[in-house]
Amino acid sequence: MATSHSPGPEILTFGEAMAMFVADTSGELAKVECFHRRIAGADTNVAIGLARLGFRVGWLSRVGEDGFGTFIRRTLEAEGIDCRHLYTDPDHPTGLVFKERAPDGADPNVTYFRQGSAASYLTPGDANNIDFTALRHLHATGIPPALSPSARELSLHVVEQARAVGASVSFDPNLRPSLWSSEADMRTTLNAVAARADWVLPGIAEGRLLTGHDSPEAIADFYLERGSQAVVIKLGREGSYFHGCLGGQQESFTLPGVTVDEVVDTVGAGDAFAVGVISALLDGRPPHEAVRRGNLIGSLAVQVVGDMEGLPSRERLATLENERPAR
């Protein structure tokens, strides 16, 4: 466990983690009797993935003063996550999520119990003790701005603080339309965050909803015109599209996805893709290699039941990359 005397994290993520209960058998939740407990959270998936690759990662959030909050903290600390900025809220509970087992790799139905959760009470003040000068990178998602007005203020605050010290910023929309009061509010808020990010990582459906454009090229141009350096769009089984200027070189290309024998669970694939892209760019790899790594790690995530169980260690990643030489 990291202490206030140890070096601050070089990468920071923030948001909400929930205790997740995954059905042991397929079928509707009303008929399921047994579940396995795991954790869920887009930002924690990315934090765990980057920590497994050797980066010093911190996580900012709140959990309840309950067994689920303790479980989340212990799980993240066991993964090497710096939890000095994870606060225990005595007045509000940890959020919960229940997930069905969907057959044949279909997207599973999930049921959330997160209204009024501890994380929804995040405020800009929760970032007061962060040493932003130690940050190399900040990863943001569209989930904290959807939780509450105060969590939205926190999101914009930490992004601006990271930018002010020269840290790079990545943004994955991770759309949760049901958490927003209106689609217009969602678009306006998340596009404002994206405009402050260096690397924007939407799925194709998310990009279409947020920008009103249909093609990957037009979606990418939308964010590049607003100040982003690079846009990487997830195209599902078709792979990924990159457009941007990194290292002084303008590039635009599509890389095919990695074929897998069996898709078990698609939840967490986008977060795994973000782990691949972000880690490669922080490793100094060129865009082609970053997108290739994103596709590769994303393919690992869909082959397991949990959201983050397929995320590789640095050693396993090196082996997999050597087995799949660049074409």
Per-residue DSSP letters for 127-173? Answer: GTT--GGG-SEEEEESSHHHH-HHHHHHHHHHHHHHHHTT-EEEEE-
Structure tokens at 181: 């009061």
H/E element, 251: strand 249-255
Beta strand extents in 15-119 (DSSP E only): 18-26, 35-40, 57-64, 86-89, 96-101, 110-113
The 8-class DSSP code of residue 115 comes to: T
Helix axes 204-211, 216-224, angle to 10 degrees: 60
**Given the residues 198, 265, 271, 307, the one annotated as active site:** 271
271 is catalytic: yes
Using DSSP, state whether 96 is helix, strand or coil.
Answer: strand
**218 Cβ contact list (under 8 Å, min separation 6):** 211
Spatial separation of the C-alpha atoms in residues 46 and 160, rounded to whole Å? 20
Among 234, 318, 240, smallest CA distance to 280 is for: 318
As annotated, the active-site residues are 271
